Amino acid sequence: MYEEFIKETSEFIFAENKPEKADIIFVPGNGYSQMAERAAQLYAKKYAPFVLPSGKYSISAGRFGGVLTGQKRYNGEYQTEWEFLKDVLMKNGVPADAVLKEDQATFTWENAKFSRKVTDQAGINIRKAIICCKNYHARRALMYYQRAYPDTEFRVCPCCVDGITRDNWTESERGIKEVLAEVNRIVTQFSLMM
């Protein structure tokens, strides 16, 4: 029974797909460089013509919490997650005209619904999209973006930023805490989408 719970939780939380050609790459707001770097790699391989990083800052912090990885390379005076993510994208070869702007979101559901406003205003029809997010944030990000774009097929291309993976999350107190907190967020934030 315990092993089945672990397996099903891992499958649910750590959503992941192989990338496919898409209309856009979404990067939900964060302070880690890896997700935007992954988006830049996919852009360079022509998986999508646009990248839309999203985010003002975390609602709980009330300000941009700072760069969490890649501080030497990404050392600007960023006021928002979007400013940081745009800098990461551009320093990794994504031209400014391919980077769309959403800099008001303060949590994941806002990342998704405010991104929808941006793509609608730009007249971009999103039939297929890629999401680059943290690996154990993948299911929640997917859930919100699917809600904002109900007619869109999504491919989740996550990154591991802190060593917690589908295969090892049960082996440390921190891994267990992070993954189960994500399960809790999915359950408690579900009403936000209604």
The predicted-structure confidence for 147-175, as pLDDT tens digits, reads as follows 999 999 999 999 999 999 999 999 999 99
Q: Which residues, at least 6 apart from 137, have a Cβ–Cβ distance to it below 8 Å?
A: 28, 108, 158, 182
Compute the average pLDDT of residues 40-45.
98
State the CATH number of the domain containing residue 35.
3.40.50.620
Tally of domains within the chain: 1
Q: How far apart are CA 5 and CA 152, in angstroms?
A: 30
Domain containing 189 equals 2-193
Output the pTM of the full model. 0.95
Q: How far apart are CA 101 and CA 34, in angstroms?
A: 19
Residue 194 has pLDDT above 80, yes or no: no
Determine contact, residues 36/63, Cβ cutoff 8 Å: no
Compute the average pLDDT of residues 99-125.
97
